[in-house]
């Protein structure tokens, strides 16, 4: 009888996979089991509660690190690691051999042990099998490991043979040092990638009274095919009645392959190490969360995962945390990865019990190596033209030879059909007769205020600036009113991007947009034109700016930015601008937008055609606004009203029947329609 009372509960026909349990000093463990690595008596970024919630049964701690700090005397004072770190489940400690042989180039080793200097205080240690066991006893782990000489798995035969033989002698000394301690002790099979050495090592160790046997010296340089081959070779030689532990392995696919070959226990730093880098394992493949495709992703990491992270956070938030190097990101991603590993172990165990492991193995060996399925990585750069990009925006090259800015998340392109400067001139500058309005006539010398709603890449604003400069050159300083142009924008990335590649955007060949980005304001040398930036949500800030004569209303479409196109929004604008006798110009021709403007009190007329669009929309706060222009606008009339009556979507969303009736009455009784008979 071994100290662990290891009991095989089920075996898989056709593979060597098995489900078992054993009882350690601090509780029962069900296998196959994955042991999170708590190097310095902590699994990085995890609390005991989060570890338990993800399904951890056993933790691994590193004797080498704990020997150097805090030192065995601290564990002796606390009565062991369990009370020290507040973990009441089983703990396995390694022997320290791996770290000494892989980290210390200047160690000296002989038959007795390995001499090395502490990286913390320079103190010299002679790590012998006896000191290793003594330290592990002080730590109070449930399962101790023998000190072994670790060499690369690619080592030559003689080197591997010498190291294996020393490891065997140290194994015997370790057992003697363990004595009658109730702590379990595992031997470690060595022999690098040499068949006969591995067989010799397994045969030697199985004769000794160990409580379990480990496979060491893999996952340190060999190919995965070699790893699988030697894992299978060794497990065949190991007794059925002892747990088998594959040290330091590995990725989910490595673990699946090893369980298939009869391994019971695993440890690896991959879940937390990859979590730290932003990589997570999911049921849809491996995801790299630092990729900007997740910036707006509202879904959980893995819809099929019930871990704390997946239940509470979006990919977008996790992306943000990773981009900001926030420790919480590391914690949340590691939490998910650990849950993924523990779930994989539990699924394998369940499949072994119900006889479906072979099928599960075939399915998972494909699934576990998938990359991000929903968002495959970008193809090699050399094959794709470089796209200028900033934040959520990129430069869109139009086939007609001009550039626009595209919002990546919505796919919406600013000025998708017409050259941006042409559209700005036609819709906003010419229709509003801006050049005439800049002149000091009409007995009106007040400043002319324009709202530029949706600065974007500044096409409309710069068209206004260009119009001002042209008019100034033609008419002279004395004849012009002051122009005050107020641009509203919550995201300056489109303008920053366009300025960065401004050879594609001729309207930006001017100092004004650069100055605006830099200081939020630009003023013409004449003092007659001032351009201001209001950064933030238009709906929040427009009330604190003076009511304009002209509104260039050019935000993203209702589909992308619905709040700007509601009747509530237009009603607020109307209330603020009514007395200013304002005109609003916009590219939209949608019935919903026109009816929203009408219900808010505006007088509405079709505007100039633009590109393939037969018309656009102009709205006035005063009836006489429409007739002010040389070519008077003709307001929407009975024909349009009849069309609206027939429209399937003539009411704003969310109205009940009574409200619909009121709304219909509001539109039908709009003075624009009742006055229609009188010539305007």
CB of 339 to Zn ion, least distance (A): 5
State the Cα angle at 615 between 534 and 543, rounded to 5°.
25
Based on the number of CB atoms within 10 Å of its own CB, is 133 exposed (0-12), middle (13-18) or buried (19 or more)? buried
Tokens of 438: 């800049």
Between strands 285-288 and 393-397, the pairing is unpaired
What SS3 state is found at 448?
Answer: strand
**Token pair 């601290």 in the structure block, residue:** 74
CB of 34 to Zn ion, least distance (A): 15
How far is 573 from 588, CA to CA, in rounded Å?
Answer: 17
Q: What are phi and psi of 96, to 5 degrees?
A: 95, -15
Q: Which is nearer to Zn ion, 163 or 310 (CB)?
A: 310
What are the start-end ranges of the E strands in 292-447?
Answer: 389-390, 393-397, 403-407
What SS3 state is found at 266?
Answer: strand
Q: How many CA atoms lie within 13 A of 369 on its CB side?
A: 11
How far is 64 from 71, CA to CA, in rounded Å?
Answer: 10
Q: Which is nearer to Zn ion, 56 or 463 (CB)?
A: 56
Number of neighbours of residue 180 by Cβ within 10 angstroms? 4
**Token pair 């037969």 in the structure block, residue:** 614
**Token pair 């004004």 in the structure block, residue:** 512
Q: Which is nearer to Zn ion, 53 or 175 (CB)?
A: 53
What SS3 state is found at 23?
Answer: strand
CB of 1 to Zn ion, least distance (A): 40
Q: Which is nearer to Zn ion, 18 or 336 (CB)?
A: 336
Cα separations (Å) of 2 from 178, 320, 376? 14, 50, 50
How far is 450 from 534, CA to CA, in rounded Å?
Answer: 13
What are the start-end ranges of the E strands in 329-411?
Answer: 389-390, 393-397, 403-407
Contacts of 21 by beta carbon, 8 Å cutoff, 6+ apart: 6, 7, 9, 28, 29, 30, 31
Q: Which is nearer to Zn ion, 309 or 418 (CB)?
A: 309
CB of 220 to Zn ion, least distance (A): 30
Between strands 91-93 and 59-61, the pairing is parallel
How far is 609 from 622, CA to CA, in rounded Å?
Answer: 23
CB of 313 to Zn ion, least distance (A): 9
The length of the chain is 680
How far is 337 from 587, CA to CA, in rounded Å?
Answer: 49
What are the start-end ranges of the E strands in 403-506?
Answer: 403-407, 448-453, 483-489
| Residue (of 150, 159, 100) closest to 127 by Cα position | 100
Cβ(307)–Cβ(21) below 8 Å: no
Contacts of 259 by beta carbon, 8 Å cutoff, 6+ apart: 17, 32, 348
Q: Which is nearer to Zn ion, 273 or 545 (CB)?
A: 273
Q: Which is nearer to Zn ion, 315 or 336 (CB)?
A: 336
How far is 532 from 519, CA to CA, in rounded Å?
Answer: 9
Cβ(269)–Cβ(338) below 8 Å: no
How far is 38 from 485, CA to CA, in rounded Å?
Answer: 61
Catalytic site positions: 94, 267
CB of 332 to Zn ion, least distance (A): 9
| Residue (of 487, 623, 628) closest to 553 by Cα position | 487
Q: Which is nearer to Zn ion, 50 or 407 (CB)?
A: 50
Q: Which is nearer to Zn ion, 309 or 610 (CB)?
A: 309
Verify cis geometry, omega within 30 degrees of 0, for the bond prior to 420: no
Q: Which is nearer to Zn ion, 340 or 428 (CB)?
A: 340
**Token pair 């939020």 in the structure block, residue:** 520
Q: Which is nearer to Zn ion, 307 or 605 (CB)?
A: 307
CB of 315 to Zn ion, least distance (A): 11
Q: Contact residues for Zn ion (CB under 5 A)?
A: 305, 307, 309-310, 336
How far is 671 from 431, CA to CA, in rounded Å?
Answer: 24
N- to C-terminal Cα separation, the chain: 105
Q: Which is nearer to Zn ion, 273 or 622 (CB)?
A: 273
């Amino acid at each position: 009888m071994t100290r662990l009372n290891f009991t095989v509960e089920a075996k898989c026909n056709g593979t060597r996979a098995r489900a078992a349990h054993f009882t350690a000093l601090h509780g029962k463990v069900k296998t196959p089991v994955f042991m999170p690595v708590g190097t310095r008596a902590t699994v990085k970024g995890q609390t005991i509660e989060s570890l338990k919630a993800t399904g951890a049964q056993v933790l691994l701690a590193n004797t080498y690190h704990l020997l150097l700090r805090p030192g065995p005397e601290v564990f002796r004072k606390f009565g062991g690691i369990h009370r020290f770190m507040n973990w009441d489940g089983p703990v396995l400690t390694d022997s320290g051999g791996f770290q000494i042989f892989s980290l210390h180039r200047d160690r000296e080793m002989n038959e007795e042990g390995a001499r090395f200097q502490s990286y913390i205080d320079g103190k010299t240690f002679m790590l012998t099998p006896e000191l290793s066991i003594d330290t592990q006893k002080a730590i109070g782990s449930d399962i101790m490991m023998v000190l072994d000489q670790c060499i690369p798995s690619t080592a030559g035969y003689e080197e591997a043979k010498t190291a294996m033989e020393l490891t065997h002698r140290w194994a015997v000394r370790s057992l003697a040092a363990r004595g009658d301690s109730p702590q379990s002790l595992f031997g470690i099979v060595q022999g690098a990638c040499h068949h006969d050495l591995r067989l010799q090592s397994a045969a030697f160790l199985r004769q000794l009274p160990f409580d379990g046997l480990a496979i060491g010296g893999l996952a340190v340089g060999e190919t995965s095919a070699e790893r699988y081959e030697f894992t299978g070779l060794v497990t065949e030689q190991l007794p059925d009645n002892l747990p088998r532990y594959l040290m330091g392995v590995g990725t989910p696919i490595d673990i699946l392959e090893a369980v298939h070959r009869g391994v019971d226990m695993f440890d690896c730093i991959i879940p937390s190490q990859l979590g730290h880098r932003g990589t997570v394992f999911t049921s849809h493949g491996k995801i790299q969360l630092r990729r900007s495709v997740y910036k707006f992703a509202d879904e959980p990491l893995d819809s099929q995962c019930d871990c704390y992270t997946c239940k509470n956070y979006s990919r977008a938030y996790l992306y943000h945390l990773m981009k900001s190097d926030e420790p919480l990101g590391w914690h949340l991603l590691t939490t998910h990865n650990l849950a993924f590993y523990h779930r994989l172990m539990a699924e394998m165990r369940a499949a072994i019990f119900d006889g479906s492991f072979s099928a599960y193995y075939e399915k998972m060996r494909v699934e576990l190596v998938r990359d991000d399925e929903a968002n495959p990585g970008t193809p090699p750069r050399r094959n794709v033209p470089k796209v200028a990009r900033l934040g959520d925006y990129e430069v869109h090259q139009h086939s007609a030879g001009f550039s626009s800015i595209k919002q990546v998340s919505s796919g919406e392109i600013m000025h998708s059909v017409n050259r941006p400067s042409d559209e700005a001139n036609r819709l906003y500058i010419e229709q509003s007769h801006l050049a005439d309005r800049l002149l000091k006539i009409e007995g009106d010398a007040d400043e002319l205020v324009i709202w530029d709603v949706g600065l974007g890449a500044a096409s409309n604003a710069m068209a206004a600036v260009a119009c001002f400069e042209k008019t100034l050159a033609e008419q002279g300083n004395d004849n012009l009113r002051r122009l005050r142009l107020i641009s509203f924008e919550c995201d300056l990335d489109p303008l920053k991007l366009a300025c960065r590649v401004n050879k594609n955007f001729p309207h930006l060949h001017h100092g004004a947009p650069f100055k605006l980005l830099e200081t939020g304001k630009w003023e013409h040398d004449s003092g007659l034109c001032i351009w201001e930036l209001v950064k933030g949500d238009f709906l929040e800030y427009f009330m604190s700016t003076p009511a304009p004569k002209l509104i260039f209303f050019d935000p993203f479409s209702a589909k992308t930015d619905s709040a700007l196109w509601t009747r509530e929004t237009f009603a607020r604008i109307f209330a603020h601008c009514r007395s200013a006798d304002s005109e609003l110009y916009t590219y939209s021709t949608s019935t919903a937008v026109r009816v929203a403007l009408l219900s808010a009190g505006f007088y509405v007329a079709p505007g100039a055609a633009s590109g393939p669009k037969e018309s656009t929309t102009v709205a006035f706060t005063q009836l006489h606004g429409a007739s002010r222009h040389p070519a008077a606008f003709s307001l929407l009339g009975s024909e349009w009203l009849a069309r609206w009556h027939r429209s399937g979507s003539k009411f704003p969303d969310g109205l009940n029947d009574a409200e619909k009736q009121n709304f219909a009455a509001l539109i039908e009784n709009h003075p624009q329609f009742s006055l229609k008979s009188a010539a305007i």
